[in-house]
Structure 1
Amino acid sequence: MAISDLYTSGKHKQEIGHFANIVKIAKADGEISEGEKELLIRAGKNLNITLEESILILTNPEKYPTNAPASYEDRIERLYRLAKMILVDGEAKLIEVQLMRKIAIRLHFSHDNVEKVCDEAIQLVLNENDLSDFTKAIKLVNKA
Structure 2
Amino acid sequence: MSFSELFESGFKKRNEDHFASIVRVAMSDGVITGEEHAFLDRLATRLDITESDYTTILKDYKSHPINPPTSYNVRLERLFDLARMVWADDIEGPKQHRLLEKLAVGLGFNPKNVKYIADKALALAHENVDVDEFTEEMKNMNQ
TM-score of the aligned structures, taking structure 1 as reference length: 0.67
Q: CA deviation at 1:58?
A: 0.7
Please say if residues 77 and 131 of structure 1, whose CA atoms lie closer than 8 Å, have aligned partners that are also in contact: no
Q: Residues 70 and 12 from structure 1, CA distance in 2 versus in 1: closer, same or farther, beyond 3 angstroms?
A: farther
| Cα-to-partner distance string for 1:100-132 (whole Å, 9 max, x where unaligned) | 43x334xxx7xxxx3476444311244362462
Q: Residues 138 and 122 from structure 1, CA distance in 2 versus in 1: closer, same or farther, beyond 3 angstroms?
A: same
Letter in 2 for 1:122: A
Q: CA deviation at 1:46?
A: 0.3
1:59-78 alignment runs, 5 A limit: 59-67=59-67, 74-78=74-78
CA distance in 2, matches of 1:9, 1:52: 16
1:79-90 alignment runs, 5 A limit: 79-81=79-81, 88=91, 89-90=95-96
CA distance in 2, matches of 1:98, 1:36: 11
CA distance in 2, matches of 1:136, 1:28: 30
Q: Alpha carbon RMSD of aligned pairs, Å?
A: 3.4
Please say if residues 117 and 141 of structure 1, whose CA atoms lie closer than 8 Å, have aligned partners that are also in contact: no
The unaligned stretches of length 5 or more in structure 2 are none
Please say if residues 79 and 121 of structure 2, whose CA atoms lie closer than 8 Å, have aligned partners that are also in contact: no
| Cα-to-partner distance string for 1:49-100 (whole Å, 9 max, x where unaligned) | 0111111111121211134568865532323455666x9523428xx85774
Percent identical across equivalent pairs?
32
Letter in 1 for 2:119: Q
Please say if residues 124 and 134 of structure 2, whose CA atoms lie closer than 8 Å, have aligned partners that are also in contact: no
Please say if residues 15 and 47 of structure 1, whose CA atoms lie closer than 8 Å, have aligned partners that are also in contact: yes
